[in-house]
Amino acid sequence: MKKLMFALLVLVMTAVASGAATANASQVDMLIKKLVEKGILSATEAEALISEMQKEEAGKAPEKAAVEAEKGKVPSLPKWVEKIDLKGDFRLRYQREETTNTNQGTRNRGRYRLRAGLVADVTDQWETGFGICSGGANPRSSLQTFSTGFETPDLRLDYAFATYMPVQTRQG
């Protein structure tokens, strides 16, 4: 019976050692201590098991980085990506206009606007950016009206710039 329990314990400890990323070393030590208290393991067997687990853990150190990468931990982003700011917004509204003119009456319409852009710090002195937006022929508004369902909405250049700052000024 004792050999069966020992074999079961070795199997459990192997599973715990292979999933050491989820199990804490102190939890494993507490489990082994309880098994010694219950008489399932002797003190020498417990010490041998702990030293064996430590040797396995030391041998798996290079493999841990590969396992963490597979689990979805992404390495840090390149520095040029950190210098880019994405901007954008979406606006959706319902507009009701009542006119006093009896020929037109009340006008009901749905309107939307979509804007997207990016700004990048190319160097310490240069900053560039551009943006696009929805919009039609109206130069004062980039709102589109839900009036015709079979038209392809326009996308237009909203802004484009390059800024040169030869001298950095102190703020604050």
The more confident residue out of 148 and 54 is 54
Query: In this structure, what token pair is assigned to residue 59?
Result: 């041998």
Buried b vs exposed e over 48-62: b needs ≥16 C-beta within 10 Å? ebeeebeeeeeeeee
Asked whether the beta carbons of 49 and 33 are under 8 A apart, the reply is no
**How high is the pLDDT of residue 88?**
93
Q: Residues 87-133: pLDDT tens digits? A: 999 999 888 888 777 677 787 888 888 999 999 998 888 999 999 99
Alpha-helical segments (H) within 19-127: 25-37, 43-59, 61-70, 79-82
When pLDDT is averaged across residues 65-84 and rounded to a whole number, the result is 68
**How high is the pLDDT of residue 53?**
77
- Least confident window among 37-46, 60-69, 93-102: 60-69
The more confident residue out of 15 and 108 is 108
**How high is the pLDDT of residue 130?**
94
Pick from 1, 4, 11, 5: nearest CA to 36:
5
Pick from 39, 36, 37: nearest CA to 47:
36
CA distance 115 to 84: 17
Q: Which helix or strand (DSSP H or E) is residue 7 part of?
A: helix 2-18
Asked whether the beta carbons of 110 and 145 are under 8 A apart, the reply is yes
pLDDT category, 163, cuts 50, 70, 90? very high
